[in-house]
Amino acid sequence: MVIMKGFIKTSVLVACVLAAHSAHAQERQIFWTEGFGKVFRGDENSAVYEEIITARVPSALAIAEGYLYWGDAATFDIKRSDLEGANIEVILPYPNWPADLIVDSTSRKIFWTEFEGGKILRANLDGTKVDTLITGLSRPLSLAIDDQTAKLYWSDSITRRIQRANLDGTQIEDVLALSEGIDDLAIDVNARKLYWSGEDIKRSNLDGSDIETILAGIRPFSFTLDAAAGKIYWSDFEKIARANLDGTAPEDLIHGFTFGAESLALDQTSGKICWINPWSPSSRIQRANLDGTEREDIFISVPAFRGIAVDAAAGKLYWTAAVEVMRANLDGSSIEWLADISCGMSDLSDIAVDPKAGKLYWVRDSDCGGGSQLHRSNLDGSATEHLWTGGYLSSLALDLEAGKLYWTDNFGRLPSKGIYRANLDGSDVEFVLDSLASAGGIAIDTRNQKIYWTDYPSSIRRMDFDGTEIEIVLMELSAPIEIALDVPNGKMYWTESNAGKIRRANLDGSAVEDVFSGLKTPYRLALNFGDPALRVDEVSEIAPASLQVLQNYPNPFNPETKIVFFVPPSVKQQRVVIKLFDITGRLVRVLFDREVASGRYEVTWDGRDAHNNELASGTYVYRLETGNNVITKKMLLIH
């Protein structure tokens, strides 16, 4: 059997001919990761999908009246907790990303920017009475409030303007139009000064006059003011620092960040500075004393997700999350952390499953080993092995028939970028095709000896296993990321991140159609189309009065045979299982396992085991089980 991003490719087919009762077509499940950390599951037949796992990724941060308030970039809502990170509650379930939020203690209101919607909104501190104050903005980013004049200030990342209005959204006016980008805002109410950050931190009077640079060239991620103490705090790529409000006497406070801290906020009551650390193994909210001592976690999130794979036989879903390998049931329940790999900057980018050998393969992008690292472990995360290091491994695919592992590499200069393959233990690494600038997702068609890959930003290509016969299968796509194949049905599936779609087409690129649309940012993809695939048709044929299983035909057979069974009209819904054993009694495959209605069912078997391996000639036993009934028959496979 060949596993492609967890999709179990199989050539067992089932045809069902129903009488008085019709059954539903088998659910053909598509799983994908999306945005900042969600896993979705959809049914291809109905185009209905659901969110089954959600990360918690804090974004904007504010403190007021003993509460931490933050936006969640994964769930697109606003949450709050106590200052210890406990008693988390959703106060504003919201459809768009809250890029910044601020609390006005005087009016006891929370204000936030809706980045993608171009709006500024407010609500009571408990989330009630939501008002849309301002609409029609480009990309409102940061907020600040002048309590003395009851004015709300905001920055716009597209127009590069700072504007202000009354706290009810009326009397909008421009304060500054700048040539550089604007990130954070802050106001020193007593000194009547407006601060903002871009490449530098600058300040002006509240009307935009008398602009001065107070901290030049520091490229801050975030900053905040402690006006009472005369201090400004900021974060950059690797630290949190502070200085006097005029930029003098700078001092470093906290080091040890991978990619900086975001959304600095002061807890004046406790004498603490809080921030979001999105690049630690899991996104988290942290705090320390104002002098940088006693750093601690307040809230640790479930990290964002990337690679995804399915083990259909075991009913398990695997995915990568920051530096962790995780798994759950196919409905998202029973989440487990299997492996934790922390080493400098690290991000687990893709994953593949070999259920036959009980192995997981995954890629870690890291700066602590000379490039991406390829690992494998047991399915429970134990016995981790390092297989290979080098380049930037983007996507994985397994060819279990040939014992090969394929990956795409997007690191460095040509010709080192391209498609590689190796043995499953990481040995005998070889180029299949070099000088590919932007190969992304990869999938293997073992039946037709083809390799498919996405070529960012707009195409899907394929070639023979030896790297020849390269052809463009699809063009003019919108950021195709991941690809998976349903070879028995002649289909390929892919995610188009910029279009917000999961699409499919024939393997030659014809008959393109949308499967799911209106998505945020679909990324990795895995298929679970079952084993076997079920087709249902209604006919006028009446089923026998009792359960029957016919002798397979042809028999002896090569390469395939059919098994027909009847479910009587008295049965409205019943589970039927057909198991296949070799002559020693070893289970080699489950051919059929599902709830069925009355009717005539036909299963086609191709002479392969559960891992798509061709079986030897000999006698095999198929056994039908339903309720208290067990019917057994023999068949002969010849080569």
What does 537-606 look like in DSSP terms, one character per residue?
EE-SPPPPSS-EEPPPBSSSBSS-EEEEEEE-TT-SSEEEEEEEEETTS-EEEEEEEEEE-SEEEEEEE-
Q: How far apart are CA 601 and CA 538, in angstroms?
A: 11
Range of lowest pLDDT (300-314, 451-465, 539-553):
300-314
Residue 158: pLDDT above 70?
Answer: yes
The overall average pLDDT reported for the chain is 81
Per-residue pLDDT tens over the stretch 33-55? 875 567 888 888 777 888 777 65
Encode pLDDT of 117-147 as tens digits: 889 999 998 888 999 999 999 889 899 999 9
pLDDT at 55: 59
Binned at pLDDT 50, 70 and 90, residue 371 comes out as low
Is pLDDT of 3 > 70?
no
Question: What is the chain's Cα-based Rg?
Answer: 29
The two three-digit tokens of residue 501, written as one number: 């779609």
- pLDDT at 322 > cutoff 70: no
Q: Say yes or no to pLDDT of 331 above 50.
A: yes
Task: Show contacts of 536-539: CB within 8 Å, 24+ apart.
Answer: 536/16, 536/18, 536/22, 536/23, 536/24, 536/25, 537/15, 537/16, 537/17, 537/18, 538/18, 538/19, 538/22, 539/17, 539/18, 539/19, 539/600
What mean pLDDT comes out for the span 201-210? 96
Q: Which domains does the chain have, with CATH numbers?
A: 3-11+26-54+303-528 (2.120.10.30), 58-300 (2.120.10.30), 542-637 (2.60.40.1930)
What pLDDT does residue 173 have? Answer: 96
Please state the pTM of the whole predicted model. 0.54
pLDDT at 91: 82
* Mean pLDDT calculated for residue range 196-204: 94
Edge-to-edge order in the sheet of strand 231-235: 222-226, 231-235, 239-244, 251-255
pLDDT attached to residue 247: 95
Does 234 have pLDDT greater than 90?
A: yes
In the numeric block, which tokens belong to residue 173?
Answer: 């006016």
Cβ atoms 286, 298 nearer than 8 A: yes
In this prediction, residue 221 has a pLDDT band, given cuts at 50, 70 and 90, of confident
Q: Which residues pair with 404 in a beta bridge?
A: 399, 423
Q: Is 206 helix (H, G, I), strand (E, B) or coil?
A: coil
Indicate the range of 8-17, 281-290, 372-381, 385-394 predicted with least confidence: 8-17
pLDDT in the model for residue 415: 55
User: Where does the pLDDT of residue 68 fall: very low under 50, low under 70, confident under 90, or very high at 90 and above?
Assistant: confident
Output 14 or 383, whichever has higher pLDDT. Answer: 383
Tell me: pLDDT of 501 over 80: yes
Contact 178, 160 (CB under 8 A): yes
Q: Of residues 194 and 329, which shows the higher confidence score?
A: 194
Q: How would you list the strands of the sheet with 404-409, edge to edge?
A: 393-399, 404-409, 418-423, 430-434
pLDDT of residue 534: 37
Beta strands in 57-211 (DSSP E): 58-64, 67-72, 77-82, 89-93, 98-104, 109-114, 119-124, 131-134, 140-146, 151-156, 161-166, 173-177, 185-188, 193-197, 201-205
The pLDDT assigned to 48 comes to 85
Alpha-carbon 489 to chain mean position: 26
Sign of the C-alpha dihedral, residues 432, 510, 479, 527?
negative
pLDDT value of residue 135: 95
Q: What is the mean pLDDT of residues 410-426?
A: 77
Q: Does residue 177 surpass a pLDDT of 80?
A: yes
Q: Work out the percent of the chain whose per-residue pLDDT is above 70.
A: 83
Average pLDDT over every residue of 388-412: 84
pLDDT in tens, 510-560: 999 999 998 877 888 988 775 443 333 333 355 677 888 999 999 999 988
Spatial distance between the Cα atoms of 487 and 315, rounded to a whole number of angstroms = 21
SS3 letters for 225-285? EEHHHCEEEEECCCEEEEEECCCCCCEEEEECCCCCCEEEEEECCCCEEEEEECCCCCCEE
**What's the mean pLDDT in 209-215?**
96
pLDDT at 295 > cutoff 80: yes
pLDDT confidence of residue 533: 36
- What is the structure's pLDDT at 226? 93
* CA nearest to 103, candidates 145, 139, 131: 145
Confidence bin at 10 (pLDDT 50/70/90): very low
User: What is the per-residue pLDDT for 520?
Assistant: 75
Q: Is the pLDDT of residue 4 over 50?
A: no
Q: Cα–Cα–Cα angle for 268, 146, 63, nearest 5°?
A: 30
595 Cβ contact partners less than 8 Å away, ≥ 6 residues apart: 573, 574, 575, 576
Q: What is the pLDDT of residue 59?
A: 67
Asked whether the predicted pLDDT for residue 31 surpasses 90, the reply is no
Residue 259 has pLDDT above 80, yes or no: no
Determine the average pLDDT of the residues in 90-99: 72
pLDDT digits (tens, 9 = 90+) for 105-117: 888 899 999 877 8
- For residue 404, name the pLDDT band (cuts at 50, 70, 90): very high
Q: How far apart are CA 369 and CA 360, in angstroms?
A: 20
The secondary element (H helix, E strand) that includes residue 455 is strand 450-455
In the three-class reduction of DSSP (H, G, I as helix; E, B as strand; rest coil), residue 487 is classed as helix
pLDDT at residue 318 greater than cutoff 50: yes
Give 623-636 pLDDT, tens digit per residue: 999 888 899 999 99
Long-range contacts of 48-56 (CB under 8 A, 24+ apart): 49/516, 52/328, 52/331, 52/332, 53/305, 53/319, 53/328, 53/332, 53/335, 54/302, 55/283, 55/301, 55/302, 55/303, 55/304, 55/305, 55/321, 56/283, 56/301, 56/302
Q: Would you state the torsion angle of the CA atoms of residues 107, 113, 117, 122, taken in this order, to the nearest 10 degrees?
A: -10
Confidence of residue 300 (pLDDT cuts 50, 70, 90): low
pLDDT tier, 461 (very low <50, low <70, confident <90, very high otherwise): very high
Per-residue model confidence (pLDDT) at position 36: 53
| The predicted structure's pLDDT at residue 280 | 54
- Which residue in the block uniquely carries the two structure tokens 């003098």? 248
